[in-house]
Amino acid sequence: MKLLCISCMKREEVTASTVVEWFYRPEGGKDEPIYEHRKMNHEFPSRFSGRIQWNGSKDMQDVSITVLNVTLNDSGIYTCNITREFEFEIHRPLFTSSRLIHLTVVEEAGEDFTSVISEIMMYILLVFLTLWLLIEMVYCYRKVSKAEEAAQENATDYLAIPSENKENCAVPVEE
């Protein structure tokens, strides 16, 4: 399960050192740190030990993490705190932002009505296209069959010799 956290910087901004902290709060509990990214990644000992991966970008615009092997106990509120210290010549302003992600893990996802409708439409379209293809094949077969019959009749007309000329079909030979 990717927990998406994006904090964009404008292109004209100078370089900045960025610190990302991830916290988890169970239902009715308090925030506990689970992950931190300063120049290196650090996973805190918690119920998520060994199940968190950094999924952010190198430019630190996307600072997401992925929780592997999600269980029902992983439901809760995840907080992504981003702190940026900009490196200007005169001063070093600090920018902080926070994103909350409410995650509810269920045992099995229910059927979405739109997916059911789209599946029905897919089958109707499949049947329609199959029938259309079958009709086209029959039409083409009949057209080719009629063309062959017409060609056959024309060929017999050209090859037929009238019966009254059959006795005189020999060409006189001169010696």
Residue extents of the structural domains in the chain? 2-103, 111-151
pLDDT of residue 149: 84
pLDDT of residue 137: 93
Can you tell me the mean pLDDT for 122-137? 94
Query: In sequence order, what are the residues at sequence separation of 6 or more whose Cβ sits closer than 8 angstroms to the Cβ of residue 161?
Result: 169
User: Is residue 9 classed exposed, middle or buried when 0-12, 13-18 and 19+ CB atoms within 10 A define those classes?
Assistant: middle
CATH class of 2-103: mainly beta
Q: Which tens digits make up the pLDDT trace of 71-120?
A: 888 889 999 998 888 877 788 888 888 888 888 888 776 677 888 888 89
Q: Tell me the residue type at 108.
A: E
Q: Which tens digits make up the pLDDT trace of 39-65?
A: 778 788 888 888 888 887 777 778 888
| pTM of the predicted protein model | 0.58
Instruction: Calculate the CA 30 to chain-centre distance.
Output: 37
Highest mean pLDDT (candidates 27-36, 70-79, 129-138): 129-138
Q: Which tens digits make up the pLDDT trace of 146-171?
A: 888 887 777 666 655 555 555 555 55
**Higher pLDDT residue, 144 or 169?**
144
- pLDDT bin (cut points 50, 70, 90) of residue 70 is confident
